[in-house]
């Protein structure tokens, strides 16, 4: 099980406090769709997501970005139990959405970049290291029900 020190917990909380879910969620998801275009295949019902400007103006992308970051909030609130917290989500993405689990890592990278753009120097190297440790635990948890 992943162990977080007190310092790591407060680092994660401190960065998360700076994150506006309604802003960073849509930004991160838009980045995934634009930087890794094959991910568009998972959003067939979202309408036009085939150009960068379409993605950036798409209401469903915006809404879903917020949903994803709200789920990340659950992980922040349950750092000692991310695997259990995400078991349902993992099963859902595996059995219902058939999402290739490599994509969770891509989304994690885009979330980090979106946060870097927003908080800039607050994401210093040590903070980035802690944040990545947290996101790796999240990505692992999302992978956990895939067999």
Q: Compare residues 76 and 116 and give the one whose CB is closer to other proteins.
A: 116
Residue 14 binding other proteins, by CB under 8 A: no
Query: How many CA atoms lie within 13 Å of 118's alpha carbon, on the beta-carbon side?
Result: 20
Residue 67 binding other proteins, by CB under 8 A: no
Q: Compare residues 123 and 141 and give the one whose CB is closer to other proteins.
A: 123
Q: What tokens does 1 get?
A: 């099980």
Cα separation of 94 and 101, whole Å?
8
Answer for which of 105, 113, 140, 146 binds other proteins (CB under 8 A) is 113
Burial class (CB in 10 A: 0-12, 13-18, 19+), 33: buried
> Which residues contribute to the site for other proteins (CB under 8 A)?
27, 30-31, 33-35, 52, 55-56, 109, 112-113, 116-121, 123, 125-126, 128-129, 132
């Amino acid at each position: 099980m992943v162990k977080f020190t007190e310092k790591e917990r407060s680092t994660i909380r401190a960065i998360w406090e700076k994150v506006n879910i309604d802003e960073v969620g849509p930004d991160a998801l838009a980045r995934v769709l634009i930087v890794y275009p094959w991910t568009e295949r998972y959003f067939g019902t979202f309408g036009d997501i085939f150009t960068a400007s379409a993605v950036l103006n798409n209401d469903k992308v915006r809404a879903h970005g917020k949903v994803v970051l709200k789920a990340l909030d659950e992980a922040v609130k349950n750092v000692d139990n991310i695997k259990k917290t995400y078991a349902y989500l993992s099963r859902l993405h595996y059995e219902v959405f058939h999402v290739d689990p490599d994509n969770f890592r891509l989304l994690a990278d885009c979330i980090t970049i979106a946060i870097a753009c927003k908080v800039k120097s607050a994401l210093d190297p040590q903070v980035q290291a802690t944040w990545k440790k947290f996101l790796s635990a999240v990505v692992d948890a999302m992978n956990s029900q895939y067999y």
